[in-house]
Amino acid sequence: MTVGIRRPLDGPPAVATRGPGVATVAVQGRGGSTRLQTRLCTIVVMPCYNEAARLRRADIRDHFLRNPNTGVIFVDDGSRDATADVLTALCDEIGPQAATLRLPANRGKAEAVRAGLLAAIDAGPRYVAYWDADLATPLELVAEFQQVLDERVHLQMVLGARVRLLGFDIERQAARHFSGRLFATAASLALRISVYDTQCGAKMFRATPEIRNILLEPFMSRWIFDVEILARLLARRRRDGAERPEQCMFELPLPKWADVRGSKVFLRDYVRAAVDLARIWWRFRR
């Protein structure tokens, strides 16, 4: 299928118009737009906020140039540094596989991911994903996520899981590892499923109307929106009478993952996460 994306993508989430074999994402913005057309199997969404100094530009560029069936939408979440200029240059280097969606103000990672995924789905690929821009999860693992969805047609979602196993290269601070285990236990209880890692910043979805529908409403939580995505999908499946709604999800143990300097978690963030988890449980408890 031919996919057309207009870039730069400034402003609100994209609105798609479709013609015979063509999906065009058009978002009007201050910088104008240029129609891009390419054949894409997967579109990766990368939320970016003040990433000008940290963005591994060469690694990102080289990955997408090596994989012409995979595209990327960078979501600039109201950055105050030179992120917008860096992303514009990076899109020029990658070519018609890349676009930038610019949010007018900082709205948080949750809204950046939601806006990017909606724009990606409206471009008509088979799969969409979101991926942390610091590349804590290497981009070469995108292909492994795709393979899981290719082979298991009943799945709607693949979650990266940072499991510390022999032979795996998972570099994670001990404090974050143990706090993550506690949070995953609480999330499992709230969601009524067994899930190892809700917070890994690498997830892929089948680009279906079902996934699009669970993204239409803004998230309640800016911090643990990943859990809210799971809760929305599970609630929808339970309303439809599914006996085991979690069977549409799959956790993929990552062979490699590394903490990246520059990301900080404070005590108030843990408190906020606990409050948000309680709110999510209360809303989707039925």
Lowest mean pLDDT among 67-71, 172-176, 260-264: 260-264
Q: pLDDT for 98-154, tens place per residue?
A: 999 999 999 999 999 999 999 999 999 999 999 999 999 999 999 999 999 999 999
Q: What are phi and psi of 135, to 5 degrees?
A: 60, 35
Q: DSSP letter string over 145-195?
A: HHHHHHH-TT-SEEEEE----TT-EEE--HHHHHHHHHHHHHHHHHHTS--
Dmax (CA) of the chain: 53
Q: How far is CA 233 from CA 72, 96, 213, 244, 286, in A?
A: 24, 32, 9, 12, 13
Task: Classify 2-170+200-207+233-256 by CATH class.
Answer: alpha beta
From CA 248, how far away is CA 111, in angstroms rounded? 24
pTM above 0.85, yes or no: yes
Q: Is 216 helix (H, G, I), strand (E, B) or coil?
A: coil
Q: Where are the domains of the chain?
A: 2-170+200-207+233-256
Q: pLDDT for 175-216, tens place per residue?
A: 888 888 899 999 999 999 999 999 999 999 999 999 999 999
